[in-house]
Structure 1
Amino acid sequence: MKQAVWFPTEEYKEKTRLYGWMKSLGYEDYETFYNKSIEETAWFWGEAEKAVGYQWMKPYTEVLDLENGTPFAQWYNGGTCNVVESVLSRWLADDETRMQTALQYEGENGTSKSFTYEDLDNWVSRVANGLKHAGIEKGDRVTIYMPMIPETVVAMLAVMKIGAIISPIFSGFASDAVMTRVQAAGSKMIITADGFSRRGKVVSLKDEVDKVCEHCPTVEKVVIVRHAGNDFTPHNYDFPWSALEKEKPFTHAEEMNSDDPLMLIYTSGTTGKPKGTVHTHAGFPLKSAFDAGFGMNIKQGDRVLWVTDMGWMMGPFLLFGSLINGATMVMYEGVPDFPEADRLWETVDKYEITHLGISPTLIRALMAKGDEYVNKHSLKSLEVFASTGEPWNPDPWMWLFETVGKNNVPICNYSGGTEISGGIFGNVLIKPIAPISFNASLPGMAAVVLDDQGNPIRDEVGELCLEKPWVGMTKSFWEDDERYVNTYWSRFENKWVHGDWVIYDGEQYIITGRSDDTLNIAGKRIGPAEYESILVKHNDVIEAAAIGVLDDVKGEVCHCFVVLRDNVTFTGELKKELMSLVNSHIGKALCPKDIHVVEDLPKTRNSKVMRRVIKAAYLGKELGDLSSLVNPEVVPFIQGLQSSKL
């Protein structure tokens, strides 16, 4: 067990929202309260939505319905709502909150814009009406392929307000990755920008969208926000964002059932196409707001900055977690170390950020820049660091705590996933916090660590599972219930198998990695199949496999292994071609670290490529059982690839 380095005082504990809420329910001890939260699931989530202050158009009659089985649990039956009522409308009745800053934007070039709750509501309402006039109806899917600018938030909320479904996509994806997700969602509209700024250079988005539209017949309109000012080729499907803004406000939010979808977020698996997680009006927003408010103590008037993108789950989390709690959502466009290495710390001081969301990869990179960039700034407004996306290693965690936080700012490690709508584990602020670990399962999350036979274990690595449903659990995969059940519910009866390896010692949890093959590059999860399908497009490549390898900066990087056609020589030029091919399809941020040529890939008798064996061989680790391989003779060559570089 790791020794704690941050300890809440009694005064601090009593001022947290979590402690105040627990006490109002008759609890002062976290473990007792947590046990109650997982023993009486319906009671807990009924109390949780009240504590969040979720807004209902019609009250629900039943908190939890398991008639269709645990994998398809239904929440708040009979209730109707629209998330925009909880995000914006609830704050308009009071003069103080109406005029409070809801959204603060900082451009990479230094441009600053702010919008009150009243401003944002009016803007969202006008765009919502514009979308209706542009032909978007309840249930239509709208892809959001946008940078971190205010229009992105407005677009998302406007789509939700009229009962349509958003599908946000990472702005760093290239056309093929976008196309796959647009096709899977059957999107009727894409909302994008001409481009955005990254390290002082304009990155075009519209050009990528035009490539997508060649293969996506469901797309009728592409709405373009003029942001970067770069040129692009006009098409008949183009529709100006400015036309949406000119409409009169649509003041009535569409009344939705509690389990109606509001968002599809695509997350990668180890095989096949990306999985479209389905999130509902009383699911993802409520779970995100609860975790932010009671896990991270985000409250009315706080200012929350998260270094993320709207295409990853922490983007929507930032939106809901900030605004449903009455805080200010702070957006930064660009990279956090440009034009100088202290840009992030400068931004924290400029906007008096109280809650800063980061990833271990980002902190590793900023730590390498030097302490002097931190010491130039007071950072006195900071109350909480929140860390997501990947496991920590000790040195950067301690650097963040000691050098940046001056041994005073707690680090809320937070781990869950897109399918969770938030966290399974966290660092609750009423308990001591130790480096790189989690001090609690979050309320309502019935986490357990199991061995291969499904038995609970301690002090050794096991499979992270959940024994009870929770609000925010993905409703399914979009139009693919079978894959959803097979992915999470098929291994142990009525237990969600999350895919993380975890050690639990009775007090702390430490995540050691993924139990599947999904890569986690700087907090961005992507399936190996996406790399492999791109590489085999090249005429000289017959087969390909991708694995994740630990990296000091990104946490994990991709290494690809390819089998070439006969009589093809692997030259430096061919390697550049393959790197460029992958880069052009999925984006530079996710490009492989290296590409290796092998004579063959280790396979089973049913031709399944054994990525586990490739990874173990390349890293010089124990190979495990190779009896299922039809070609074990290829393994020694892979083992020699890494050793040849040492």
Structure 2
Amino acid sequence: MDDQVNHLTPAHPAHGNDSGAELYARAEADRKAFWAAQARRLHWDEPWQHVLDWSRPPIARWFDGGRLNVAYNCVDRHVEAGYGDQVAVHWVGEPGDTRDITYRDLHRMVQQAANALAGLGLRAGDRVAIQLPMIPEAIVAMLACARLGLVHSVVFAGFSPAALRARVDDARARVVVTADGQYRRGRAVPMKEKVDEALVDADSVERVIVVRRVGADLDDDTPWQNGRDIWWHDLLRDASDHHDAESFDAEHPLFILYTSGTTGKPKGILHTSGGYLTQAAYTHRIVFDHRPGSDVYWCTADIGWITGHTYLVYGPLANRTTQVVYEGTPNVPHEGRHWEIIQRYRVSLYYTAPTLIRTFMKWGEQIPARYDLSSLRVLGSVGEPINPEAWLWYHQHVGGGRSPIVDTWWQTETGAIMVAPLPGLRAPKPGAAQRPLPGIGAKVVDDEGRQVSPGASGYLVIDSPWPAMARGIWGDDERFRTTYWDRFAAHDDYFAGDGARYDTDGDIWILGRTDDVMNVSGHRLSTAEIESALVAHPAVAEAAVVGASDALTGQRVIGFVVARGEADPPTADDLRRYVAEAIGPIATPREIHSVPELPKTRSGKIVRRLLRDIADGREPSETTTLADPAVITDIAQRFGPRTDA
């Protein structure tokens, strides 16, 4: 692999109108002035009095006193500037239907939806829950809420009725926006009946608005509650397409997004308006080197996650982006669907998850080779640390060996990208997030909060406030403080919950969640590092590693691997040797099991918790968020006391 890495050099020096070095220099000279300059790229109805009020950590106030409208910044100002005919969204449905929506179209749709919601008696500060598939109405609903100062809570379309209900109750949502159904893996799947199940005796909900997406493709009629339910098209039919956007305080709540933990009460992460939009637009512009009017951008994330909020809705639209939005799964109707879409729309900026990249690897390099991907200019990675082998495959077989890759680290709580390489600024390091972005203070510390030396590992913390930072957990500021700030309270540092290390150059490598760090005979082992070693084997497409309980060593390392393409599954002994050579004998998995698939959510994240349940002899619990619950059943049946694969 070293030979493959050594030839990589910076290839893309532009970052909008600034060089990366200039951005870093200005941010280091005066961080507040730097962020004020980024905020001034937006339209403000009233200027702020203070860039930052950090008098009550951990609650910050950014651009205090300033007033703006988020939806106006994402739509209206582009139309008023003469860009109404520019395509905002190339939408592709899973069955093959398409819609090209210009900024003028989007402007009209958002104004109509805002008037319709206002007509239901909703007022600024009210909460609206949105559970929709990846259709344009999801974007419109979010922007209409932002236009009115309503606080939206988008719920992933794959979540269970119980998960939806918990979020509706916690936010006290007055309205729920959903669809009759959605297309998944080539068939129509009902949604409305599950929403009805979720809302039984939900006393805060007054209306349910239903978008007709699948219609007659459903086997049964859409269930209906007269007096409560209303079709989206009926609601908008008589609504005016003119609406004057009201300005709101920079700290006005924009949205609540609940973390998807499966135990305990979900955490409603609260984000506000001015600071969030400032950093969303800034990071989208510099990390992807976005060029309005020439680039076509595609973020493959679902709108129900923070990546969909920041890098599919607010950041791109604030930057006048033309983007692709795709409704379906990447292998319907065939495994080249993503490459087909990139070829058709000449996508130049592509942002996806390492899990999906490894899936593409498993399907084989011959599939992207069938398509013209020469339009791609910058590639992005999000969601978890990308292992070097996946990075190199992505660079070679998707980027043609020429497109820089930005490996981004951030979280729901941070609101926007925090650590990532700027394309072309420095030679890339496959698998490294490298440096905090200009304006961001991030470092790796030890248990006492002291920064560790180059070459050492520790905990990733944010050591200064940033504009898109969460303003708390909805209704529970104390939980916000104890969860994220108490660990390093003496330094006012935000603890991200991730382990990280510096290399000898001082660049940051993310090691994954600290709760995914195993303790084997007193040695702290990162699951991410062991997984990366396994995936480095030429016959392995994907790997997941968990620590199972062990009376002697505390934990024992258990690996699950998926073979690449048509390759024969590698032997467990071969893989153990591979790990031992890459990391050391202490990291060698006790057991390695070859499986056809790994359990994943519909957003592509591996659910290691379920694998840990199996390894510890427990019945896997809470499988409703899986894209295919049968996968974990199959793994449980295969799992046994044997130690070979």
Both structures adopt the same fold (TM-score exceeding 0.5): yes
SS of residue paired to 1:417: coil
1:471 and 1:482 map into 2 onto residues whose CA distance is: 21
SS of residue paired to 1:143: strand
Tell me if structure 2 keeps the 8 A contact 1:439–1:509: yes
Alpha-carbon spacing, 1:549–1:276, altered in 2? closer, same or farther (3 Å): farther
2:177 and 2:102 map into 1 onto residues whose CA distance is: 23
Deviation at 1:278, TM superposition (A): 0.7
1:472 and 1:307 map into 2 onto residues whose CA distance is: 21
Candidates 322, 334, 352, aligned match of 1:328: 322
TM, length-normalised to structure 2 = 0.80
Tell me the residue number matched to 1:637: none
Residues 4-153 of structure 1: pairs in structure 2 closer than 5 A: 5-9=7-11, 12-13=12-13, 15-17=14-16, 20-22=17-19, 29=21, 33-34=23-24, 37=27, 40-50=30-40, 53-69=41-57, 71-95=58-82, 97-153=83-139
Alignment deviations for residues 397-417 of structure 1 (CA, whole Å, 9 cap, x no partner): 211111121110111111101
Tell me the residue number matched to 1:515: 514
Letter in 1 for 2:70: V
* Number of residues of Structure 1 aligned to a counterpart in Structure 2: 550
Deviation at 1:162, TM superposition (A): 0.8
Alpha-carbon spacing, 1:57–1:590, altered in 2? closer, same or farther (3 Å): farther
1:550 and 1:140 map into 2 onto residues whose CA distance is: 46
- Asked if 1:557 corresponds to 2:543, the answer is no
1:327 and 1:348 map into 2 onto residues whose CA distance is: 16
Alignment deviations for residues 276-333 of structure 1 (CA, whole Å, 9 cap, x no partner): 1111111332212111101111121221111121110111121122111111121101
1:133 and 1:508 map into 2 onto residues whose CA distance is: 53
Alpha-carbon spacing, 1:582–1:521, altered in 2? closer, same or farther (3 Å): farther
Residues 202-601 of structure 1: pairs in structure 2 closer than 5 A: 202-229=188-215, 230=218, 231-236=221-226, 237-246=228-237, 247-268=239-260, 272-301=264-293, 302-317=295-310, 318-429=312-423, 430-457=425-452, 458-492=454-488, 493=490, 494-505=492-503, 506-516=505-515, 555-559=606-610, 582-583=622-623, 585-588=624-627, 593=632
2:192 and 2:179 map into 1 onto residues whose CA distance is: 6
TM, length-normalised to structure 1 = 0.80
1:261 and 1:548 map into 2 onto residues whose CA distance is: 43
Tell me if structure 1 keeps the 8 A contact 2:89–2:322: yes
1:165 and 1:4 map into 2 onto residues whose CA distance is: 48
1:595 and 1:179 map into 2 onto residues whose CA distance is: 30
Alpha-carbon spacing, 1:202–1:427, altered in 2? closer, same or farther (3 Å): same
Alpha-carbon spacing, 1:76–1:136, altered in 2? closer, same or farther (3 Å): same
Unpaired stretches in structure 1, ≥5 consecutive residues: 23-27, 523-546, 564-569, 598-639
Q: Which moved more, 1:196-205 or 1:270-279?
A: 270-279
Deviation at 1:596, TM superposition (A): 10
Tell me the residue number matched to 1:610: none
Tell me if structure 2 keeps the 8 A contact 1:548–1:558: no
- Asked if 1:191 corresponds to 2:177, the answer is yes
SS of residue paired to 2:410: strand
Tell me the residue number matched to 2:566: none
Tell me if structure 2 keeps the 8 A contact 1:337–1:366: no
Deviation at 1:110, TM superposition (A): 1.0
Tell me if structure 2 keeps the 8 A contact 1:98–1:118: yes
Letter in 2 for 1:116: T
2:60 and 2:376 map into 1 onto residues whose CA distance is: 38
Alpha-carbon spacing, 1:495–1:269, altered in 2? closer, same or farther (3 Å): farther
Letter in 2 for 1:358: T
Tell me if structure 2 keeps the 8 A contact 1:548–1:556: no
Of all paired residues, the percent bearing the same amino acid is 32
Tell me the residue number matched to 2:572: none
- Asked if 1:166 corresponds to 2:168, the answer is no
Q: Which moved more, 1:501-510 or 1:80-89?
A: 501-510
Tell me if structure 2 keeps the 8 A contact 1:305–1:357: yes
Deviation at 1:202, TM superposition (A): 1.1
Alpha-carbon spacing, 1:115–1:155, altered in 2? closer, same or farther (3 Å): same
Letter in 2 for 1:446: G
Alpha-carbon spacing, 1:517–1:153, altered in 2? closer, same or farther (3 Å): same
Tell me if structure 2 keeps the 8 A contact 1:560–1:595: no
Alignment deviations for residues 5-57 of structure 1 (CA, whole Å, 9 cap, x no partner): 53234xx41x331xx335xxxxx736xx536525633112111222xx21111
Letter in 2 for 1:94: A
Alpha-carbon spacing, 1:590–1:288, altered in 2? closer, same or farther (3 Å): farther
Deviation at 1:590, TM superposition (A): 7.2
Deviation at 1:199, TM superposition (A): 1.3
Letter in 2 for 1:85: Y
Deviation at 1:516, TM superposition (A): 3.1
SS of residue paired to 2:176: strand
Deviation at 1:111, TM superposition (A): 0.7
Tell me if structure 1 keeps the 8 A contact 2:512–2:527: no
Unpaired stretches in structure 2, ≥5 consecutive residues: 519-525, 529-556, 563-597, 599-604
2:279 and 2:416 map into 1 onto residues whose CA distance is: 6
1:443 and 1:642 map into 2 onto residues whose CA distance is: 51
2:382 and 2:125 map into 1 onto residues whose CA distance is: 31
